[in-house]
Amino acid sequence: MTIEHTSIPDVVILHPRVFEDARGYFFESFNEKEFASQLYPVHFVQDNESKSSYGVVRGLHFQKGKSVQAKLVRVIKGEVLDVAVDIRVGSPTFGKWVAVLLSEHNASQLFIPRGFAHGFCVRSAEAVFQYKCDRFYDPSSEGAIAWDDPDLGIDWGIPAEEVLLSEKDKKHRMLKDIPAEELFDYGKNL
């Protein structure tokens, strides 16, 4: 596994070593010992998978309080633009975001630490998306930011009229409208 650093510290792209031959391919998608030696210790407790069609935007979601999550995300079929937004109040990169193209072809993964909102946009006919979380999902701790927040200015790579959202994702607030106490404190160990 090689690590590629992004413009936001702690948000990193992982590139596994892929072994291919006439039979197909093999790669190690996660190794806790290797991850800890190259980044820092993390223990994932929940794996999730979603299937979505072209134009679906899921996000920008986060878990608050004691349920704050770090995620390791990847695509096993199709292609998505994956986005992590720094929502740690006081951070030098607060409100900044990183976008990475993840696909079945590049096998790359994005590690999103605690204190970030996360979302993705499907850019292929369909995509199967998997992610690991280091804390269990808690519906009472959900938080979210509008996918089209103009202050963030995220370019999802598809026309806005082609975006498909859940009813819940249509109702999220802009980052500037979320009180600081509902976000994360940059100086606090998450």
Q: Catalytic site residues?
A: 61, 131
How far CA 80 is from CA of 6, 75, 88, 104, in Å, comes to 17, 7, 25, 10
147 closest CA partner among 78, 50, 61: 61
How far, in Å, CA of 48 to CA of 84, rounded?
A: 17
DSSP code per residue over 32-50: HHHHHHHS------EEEEE
